[in-house]
């Protein structure tokens, strides 16, 4: 195993920010996008780390995303806050509206953020983790592209539709889970294809509905929901709540709008923030202390909490730098020198 290059988190963030600025993304948005991409790499979430730079640059180069869009926050004073991403990235839109979302949730107990017309490439954990870090419980979800067959079917209809939850903890990292409602994220299958590795059984079927472990065949066929009919139903809920309910694209329309899955999708997103203190106020109990009784019992039976692996990877990256292979570092250098025109980019 070759020794990886260890890049300090702040250095990688600055370099990725410059790559996006050079591609015409406004500085605030470039910083916001770079933060999320580098956080993915820092936390060893490779399917939404630096591998996503290329996809983002491609959609900008195709003129299908607005790097210069300035997110517009619309506040009617009610529980539902809207931010229009104007065809730009979801991340700066979230950053622009987050303080208002958190304040409204504390005021009323519950508030929702609707992100409209955004380019969405990222993991969701950073959103719920940020809100949980502010003492709020949070849910985040969005459609993606119709790559996933419903349980019992064989044709793509649902998206890989990520779903994330965060819960605040005292003196600990928040409890956070974040997953695709398909067996794996599509990015994970693409990384298997690039590495020439088969995918595990049960992730996908070919175009005729037969099981496959060939990532290429899987990408051309249909991915499968996790947990059979249960995952299929949760994925459907994500389509309805963060697509139909918002008046934004569902995964099938998102795919049609972009003319296929070659470019990252544009659609809406829904983030809910809840203040546990408001919900528990009349009970006289401390919701965070009550939650701890559950969460602190996992380790005793050898179970781990979701995000525990991620937080351990984060600690290692912060202490020693983010490990990148020679090929990954060379690609960053090529993007810095030539942007998307870089040979082999």
Site track 23-62 with ligand NDP (rule: CB under 6 A), x = hit: ----------------------x-xx--------------
Residue indicated by tokens 């992730």: 203
Closest CA to 202 of 228, 233, 179, 181: 228
The SS3 call for residue 172 is: coil
Residue 304 near which of ligand PYC, ligand NDP, none (CB within 5-8 Å, type-dependent): ligand NDP
Contact by Cβ (8 Å): 73, 82: yes
Residue ranges in 188-247 that form contacts with ligand NDP under rule CB under 6 A: 188
CB atoms within 10 A of CB 59: 21
* Candidate list 5, 47, 72, 277; residue touching ligand PYC; CB under 6 A: 47
Residue 125 near which of ligand PYC, ligand NDP, none (CB within 5-8 Å, type-dependent): ligand NDP
Closest CA to 80 of 103, 106, 101: 101
Give start and end residues of each alpha helix (H) in the chain: 9-22, 27-42, 51-61, 90-108, 125-133, 186-195, 215-220, 228-239, 251-258, 276-280, 287-295, 308-320, 326-338
Radius of gyration of the chain (CA): 20
Q: Which residues pair with 83 in a beta bridge?
A: 73, 115
Residue 184 near which of ligand PYC, ligand NDP, none (CB within 5-8 Å, type-dependent): ligand NDP
Q: Is 47 considered catalytic here?
A: yes
The SS3 call for residue 284 is: coil
* Candidate list 104, 116, 186, 267; residue touching ligand PYC; CB under 6 A: 186
Of these residues, 188, 239, 248, 328, which one is catalytic? 188
Residue ranges in 94-133 that form contacts with ligand NDP under rule CB under 6 A: 120-125
Site track 156-185 with ligand PYC (rule: CB under 6 A), x = hit: ----x-------------------x----x
Of these residues, 13, 41, 48, 82, which one is catalytic? 48
Residue 258 near which of ligand PYC, ligand NDP, none (CB within 5-8 Å, type-dependent): none
Contact by Cβ (8 Å): 151, 227: no
Residue 325 in tokens: 């292979």
CB atoms within 10 A of CB 172: 12
* Candidate list 144, 212, 232, 251; residue touching ligand PYC; CB under 6 A: 144
Please say which residue, 121 or 167, places its beta carbon nearer to ligand PYC.
Answer: 121
| Interface positions with ligand PYC (CB under 6 A) | 47, 121, 144, 160, 180, 185-187, 265
Residues catalogued as catalytic: 47-48, 188
Which residues contact ligand NDP (rule: CB under 6 A)? 45, 47-48, 120-125, 142, 144, 160, 162, 164, 177-180, 184-185, 188, 304, 306-310
């Amino acid at each position: 195993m070759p020794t990886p290059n260890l890049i300090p988190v702040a250095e990688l963030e600055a370099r990725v920010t410059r790559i996006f600025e050079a591609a015409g993304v406004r500085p605030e948005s470039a910083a916001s996008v770079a933060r999320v991409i580098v956080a993915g790499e820092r936390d060893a979430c490779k399917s939404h780390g630096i591998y996503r730079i290329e996809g983002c640059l491609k959609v900008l180069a195709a003129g299908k995303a607005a790097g210069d869009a300035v997110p517009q926050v619309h506040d009617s004073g009610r529980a539902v806050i809207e931010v229009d991403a104007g065809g730009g990235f979801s991340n700066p839109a979230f950053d622009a509206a987050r303080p208002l979302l958190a304040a409204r949730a504390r005021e009323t107990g519950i508030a929702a953020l609707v992100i409209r017309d955004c380019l969405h490439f990222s993991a969701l954990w950073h959103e719920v983790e940020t809100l949980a870090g502010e003492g709020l419980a949070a849910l985040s979800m969005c459609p993606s592209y119709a790559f996933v067959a419903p349980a019992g079917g064989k044709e793509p209809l649902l998206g890989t539709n990520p779903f994330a939850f965060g819960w605040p903890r005292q003196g600990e990292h928040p409890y956070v889970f974040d997953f695709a409602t398909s067996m794996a994220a599509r990015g994970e299958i693409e990384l298997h294809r690039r590495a020439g590795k088969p995918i595990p059984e049960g992730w996908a079927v070919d175009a005729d509905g037969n099981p496959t472990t060939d990532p290429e065949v899987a990408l051309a066929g249909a991915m499968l929901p996790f947990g059979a009919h249960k995952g299929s139903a949760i994925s459907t809920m994500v389509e309805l709540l963060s697509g139909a309910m918002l008046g934004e694209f569902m995964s099938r329309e998102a795919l049609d709008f972009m003319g296929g899955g070659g470019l990252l999708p544009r659609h809406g997103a829904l983030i809910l923030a809840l203040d546990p203190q408001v919900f528990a106020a009349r009970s006289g109990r401390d919701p965070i202390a009550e939650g701890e009784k559950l969460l602190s019992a996992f380790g005793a039976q050898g179970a781990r909490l979701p995000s525990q692996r991620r937080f351990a990877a984060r600690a290692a990256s912060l202490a020693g730098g983010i490990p990148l292979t020679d090929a990954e570092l060379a690609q960053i250098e090529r993007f810095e020198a030539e942007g998307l025109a870089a040979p082999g980019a």
